[in-house]
Structure 1
Amino acid sequence: TLVMKIAFIIESIAFDSRVIICLDENSIKTVIQKLNAMLGIED
């Protein structure tokens, strides 16, 4: 449902924010990969 999709997106953004806060090289790569996946971009 739309509500579930919105909740999932909010959850993903909150997760990304936590990852960004504890910056290290691997978490930056993870965030970039997640953003690319959300935008449909392949590495």
Structure 2
Amino acid sequence: MRGIQANMLNLWTYVNLYSLNALYLLMLHISIVNPQNQGLQR
């Protein structure tokens, strides 16, 4: 039972890091495409 819990935790951490990376790349892409909106985001 403990090994399954550890695997779930690893999977959750991986998905969390992946989604954070995707969100960061998306925000970076938006700031590159729309530089005039950068003042509104800060």
Which category of TM-score, normalised to the shorter sequence, fits these structures?
0.5 to 0.7
Query: Is 1:24 equivalent to 2:36 in the alignment?
Result: yes
* Divergent runs of 4+, >2 A: none
Identity %: 3
State the aligned residue count.
Answer: 29
5+ unaligned residues in a row in structure 1: which ranges?
33-43
* Alignment match, 2:18: 7
5+ unaligned residues in a row in structure 2: which ranges?
1-11
**Pair member with larger Rg:** 2
Q: Which amino acid aligns with 2:14?
A: V
Q: Which has the higher helix share?
A: 2
Higher normalized contact order (CA 8 Å, seq sep 6+, divided by chain length): 1
Task: State the TM-score, normalizing by the size of structure 1.
Answer: 0.53
